């Protein structure tokens, strides 16, 4: 359960940082990399941040850097190539993009995932609609419960 709340806290800090720096870069485009770096190092000293940051403006990368550790036990540092399990943080962005595609009439909410993914298994794919996915009601098991993090998240899989 502790791991679940730690991840939620991390994601909250991440979103706050993301929006803070997106807003700050509009106000202070020069030297934003140094300000972000100083701020994140302060958070690291307080044991409140571990992750990787990418800040770009107009296609130009301003800051791309890993902070703290990807694996504390093994002393593995975060790098720009570190892969993170994002979980629910992407849901609102995915939903917005899907609704934009619906508005452009490229996707229909009532169609099934088998309509869009022809090689997906038909037994379930023909019953799950895009609307089910958006409302989190397709019946697909959750891989983000506290029990999953504690019991299964460290198991290696291909």
pLDDT at 11: 55
What is the model's pTM? 0.46
The rounded distance, in Å, linking the Cα atoms of 54 and 57 is 10
CA–CA dist 83, 51 (Å, integer): 10
Collapsed DSSP state (helix, strand, coil) of residue 31:
coil
Section 133-138 average pLDDT: 84
**Residue 91 catalytic?**
yes
- Lowest-confidence segment of 20-34, 40-54, 56-70, 75-89 by average pLDDT: 20-34
**How sure is the predictor about 114, in pLDDT bands with cuts at 50, 70 and 90?**
very high
Nearest alpha-carbon partner for 66 in 56, 52, 77: 52
pLDDT mean over 66-86? 89
Residue 143 DSSP label: S
**Given this model, what pLDDT does residue 154 score?**
62
- The pLDDT, as a whole number, for residue 116 is 93
Q: Residue 101 — very low, low, confident or very high, per pLDDT cuts 50/70/90?
A: very high
- 8, 57, 64, 91: which is the annotated catalytic residue? 91
What is the average pLDDT across 96-116? 94
Q: Is the pLDDT of residue 63 over 60?
A: yes
From the centroid of its chain, how far is CA 129? 23
Q: What is the 8-class DSSP label of residue 112?
A: B
More confident residue, 140 or 94: 94
Confidence check: pLDDT of 141 > 90: no
Model pLDDT, residue 27: 52
Residue 74 clears pLDDT 80, i.e. is over it: yes
Q: Is 153 a catalytic residue?
A: no
Which one from 8, 57, 88, 111 is the annotated catalytic residue? Answer: 88
Is the CB of residue 50 less than 8 Å from the CB of residue 78?
yes
**What 3-state DSSP class applies to 108?**
coil
């Amino acid at each position: 359960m502790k791991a679940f709340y730690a991840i939620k806290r991390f994601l909250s800090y991440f979103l706050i940082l993301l929006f803070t720096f997106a807003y700050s870069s509009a106000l202070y485009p020069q030297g934003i990399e140094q300000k972000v770096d100083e701020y994140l190092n302060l958070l690291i000293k307080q044991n409140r941040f571990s992750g990787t940051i990418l800040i770009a403006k107009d296609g130009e990368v301003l800051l791309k850097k890993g902070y703290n550790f990807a694996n504390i036990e093994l002393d593995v540092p975060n790098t720009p190539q570190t892969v993170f399990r994002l979980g629910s943080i992407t849901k609102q962005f995915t939903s917005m993009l899907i609704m934009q595609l619906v508005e452009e009439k490229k996707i229909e909410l009532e169609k099934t995932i088998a309509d869009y993914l022809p090689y997906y298994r038909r037994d379930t794919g023909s019953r799950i609609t895009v609307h089910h996915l958006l409302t989190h009601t397709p019946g697909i098991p959750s891989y983000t419960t506290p029990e999953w993090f504690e019991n299964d998240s460290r198991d290696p899989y291909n």
